[in-house]
Structures are given as C-alpha cells and as structure tokens.
Structure 1
Amino acid sequence: MKKLIAGVVLGVSLTAMAHGAGDPQAGEQNAAVCAGCHGQGGQKPIMGAYPKLSGLGEKYLHNQLVAIQSGDRAIPEMTGLLDGKSDQELQDLAAYFDGQDMVVSQADPDLIDQGAALYRGGNMASGVPACAGCHNPKGLGNEPGGYPRLGGQNADYVTKQLQAYRDGTRAAGANAAIMMDVAAKLTDAEIKAVANYVSGLN
C-alpha cells in the first residue's frame, strides 16, 4: 500500500512539474494590464516591435518576467508594471500566457528560402548554428531548456531582439550568452530573413 501511495504522489508531482508551477486561472486575473500592449491573451500586440506572449513556454516567460522585474532586462515600456508582484504571481502570468494559442503571422515569401536555410541549417561558413537545434524544427521551443517558441512571433520583434543580442544590450538570462554568440555572427540580411521565416513558421 505504501508503494502505491508513493507512486501516486510521485505521479502527481511529475505532472505538476510537467505543467509548471503557475496557475493559469490566477494569471488571467492579473493579465488585463498586459493586453494594452500585447493584446488579449498575448496574441496580437499593438505594434510589431512588441512580442506575442502566447505559447512561448512557461519557464522562458517566468525567467523573462523575473529579469524585467529585477531590472536585469531593461524594457522602458514595462517600468513599474511588475513592481510588488510575488514570484508566484509571475509564475501564474507565465502559465496563463503559455496556455494561449499562438497566432501565426504572415511571412514575406521573398525571404522565406534564405530564412529557412539559416533556421534549419545555420551558416557553416560563419559558424552560425541552426536555430532549430534549440528552438525546435517547427519553432515550438524547448520548455525544459527555457528556449522560447519562435514560430509565429512578430518579425519586427525577433529582428529587434537579435540586434540587441548582437550589440550586447540584451545580456540577461540563462541563455543570453549563447544568443549573444550566435547573433554576433549574423548579418543584417540574415537577421531580417530568419526573423521573417519564423514569423510564419507553423
């Protein structure tokens, strides 16, 4: 009987870990202020330079909210918005947005081939690894590794972030060093092409 109880407890614990530590329903109650910039459910931001938050991955979203709240990741538009929120409230927000469906953008067909080649195979000549290695061949991200979903994200936002990694203005986070190294080897044309490709990746 003890083994059965232990098995049930372990199973419940693993299920909780698989779904993250946040409560999506609680997160929804605190997400209204986010809709002003990111759209309802984080699906349709008011500007292309703002990210879609839907389905990015709970771990990634939580890590970014923590970095923004602490000031490690400076985003002027979000100044003060997370002040006073507990870590559990940030977890809840992350869980809520992760549970929303990503609305895929429309990619520019003229740039798809170049972007696809870079995303899937990288650039061996310049040492750029394939984006798919960390972000999934379908752009779905890697939740355990904390790599966000890229498929469907706004091209303008992806471009802005890759440029920020390249120039060192985005340096916070567990995977920032990796992204800074990758972005340092990307040309402006490659950034534009791969950002366009992932925006329509479904």
Structure 2
Amino acid sequence: MKLIASLLTTAVLAFSSVSAFSASEAAPKTAKPDLAKGEASYTAVCAACHNADGNSSIAINPKLAQQHPEYLIKQLEDFKSGKRSNPVMQGMVAGLSDGDMRNISHWLASKPGKLGFAKSKDTVALGERIYRGGLPDRQIAACAGCHSPNGAGVPAQYPRLAGQNADYIVQTMHDFRDGKRNNSIQMTGVLAKMNDKEIQAVADYIAGLR
C-alpha cells in the first residue's frame, strides 16, 4: 500500500509540474517597452507635429507627453485600422508595428506634460461648471466624472486632459458631436447635447487645469 501511495504521489507531482509548465508556455508574454527605441521612433515619425518632448506648440495638435500609454496605444491602433479617421495620422502610423506603438506610447508617458492656461475670463466660469458638475437639466455629464477633477484622467480608460491645447480640444469635441470621430460612443453621446459656446468654454477651462 505504501508503494502504491508513493507512486500516486509521484505521478501527481509530475502531472502538476507538466501542467504548470504548459500553462506558463501558453500564457501570452508582453515585451517590456523599450524607451530608447520609442524615442527614436517618435523622433523620426511624430516630433515634427508634436514637438521633440511631446508637448506640441501647434495649437491644433495634441500634447502627448505624460499621456496614459494604454490610451495612446489604443488611439494609434484605431488610426491604423481606420476606426479613427484622420488621413495624416493614418499615413504616419501605417508603418508602425505593435512594438513600435508600445515603445512610443510608453516613452511619451515618461515625459512631463507642460501646463497650459485658460485665455477667456468671460467663459471660464461656464467651463468650470460644465467640467465639474455637468448640466443635469440637459443630461450632460460632468467631464470630471471620467477625466478626474484635476484632469489627470484614468489610466487605460480616459485620457489625461490637464493643460491640453484648447484648439485641439475644441476640434476633437466637434468631431465627436458631428460624427467625424466615432471611436468613443460615450463621448459622442455627451457632446451631441452641447453647443459651440459650451464646447469652447470647457476646452478653455481644460487648458488651464492643474
């Protein structure tokens, strides 16, 4: 009986080892981002429009520095697949591999974002009211609910907005509202109810968020 028990124990241990090895082999492996390669790829493909450090000084182009890498990866993938339409960006990302996108996005996330500022004293109060509290009477949700009160966003889900170029925010909000950008059903639904003055006020307020 002791011999049988010993053989059974040995068999169980052997099976467990094989199962653990198989599970380990089957598990997908995500390569660690290479920031040096990310910087090189970014410099070659992206820097002309978004600046060397990811803080675009061209008002209509977004600042990318300090953005959540998961969010950036998704946007690059959406551009490449055509889910997010932009002829310029689709051309830029066409030659990027999954590894390139991952490296670039993590390199950008490691760069500090530069703060911006609101320019319109006349609309900043309206922008703050909508961003922080929404417009409940029209069922417009507060931006802070997803992007956080200070604009830091939520990794992998909602982008960092603090200090973003106001002109870019305005254009993006218009694109969601007008159906030109449709890779976020939630944003399309919220912006369908907002007018131009409200969009401009929110964008200006976001530019000055700290």
TM over 0.5: yes
Q: How does 1:52-71 map to 2 (within 5 A)?
A: 52-71=63-82
AA aligned to 2:207 is S
Does the 8 Å CA contact 1:121/1:129 hold for their aligned counterparts? yes
Counterpart check, 1:188 vs 2:196: yes
1:90 match: secondary structure:
helix
1:95 match: secondary structure:
helix
Q: How does 1:43-82 map to 2 (within 5 A)?
A: 43-45=55-57, 47-82=58-93
- 1: CA distance, partners of 2:78 / 2:147: 20
Counterpart check, 1:40 vs 2:52: yes
Counterpart check, 1:132 vs 2:140: no
Distance 1:21 1:158, change over 3 A: farther
1:80 match: secondary structure:
helix
**CA deviation vs aligned residue, 1:1-27 (integer Å, no higher than 9, x gap):** xxxxxxxxxxxxxxxx9xx95332221
Does the 8 Å CA contact 1:38/1:51 hold for their aligned counterparts? yes
- 2: CA distance, partners of 1:137 / 1:164: 24
Tell me which of 145, 149, 161 is aligned to 2:160.
Answer: 149
Report which stretch shifted further, 69-78 or 86-95. 69-78
Counterpart check, 1:31 vs 2:42: yes
- Alignment TM-score, normalising by the size of structure 2: 0.81
Does the 8 Å CA contact 1:24/1:93 hold for their aligned counterparts? yes
Give the CA deviation at 1:73. 1.2
- 2: CA distance, partners of 1:70 / 1:96: 22
Q: Provide structure 2 residue ranges, at least 5 long, that are not aligned to the other structure.
A: 1-29
AA aligned to 1:77 is V
- Alignment TM-score, normalising by the size of structure 1: 0.84
AA aligned to 1:166 is R
Question: In the alignment, which residue of structure 1 is the partner of 2:20?
Answer: none
AA aligned to 2:131 is Y
| Larger Rg computed on CA atoms | 2
Report which stretch shifted further, 71-80 or 114-123. 71-80
The aligned length equals: 179
AA aligned to 2:179 is G
Does the 8 Å CA contact 1:44/1:103 hold for their aligned counterparts? no
Q: RMSD in angstroms over aligned alpha carbons?
A: 1.6
- 2: CA distance, partners of 1:27 / 1:168: 32
AA aligned to 2:177 is R
Identity %: 38
AA aligned to 1:91 is R
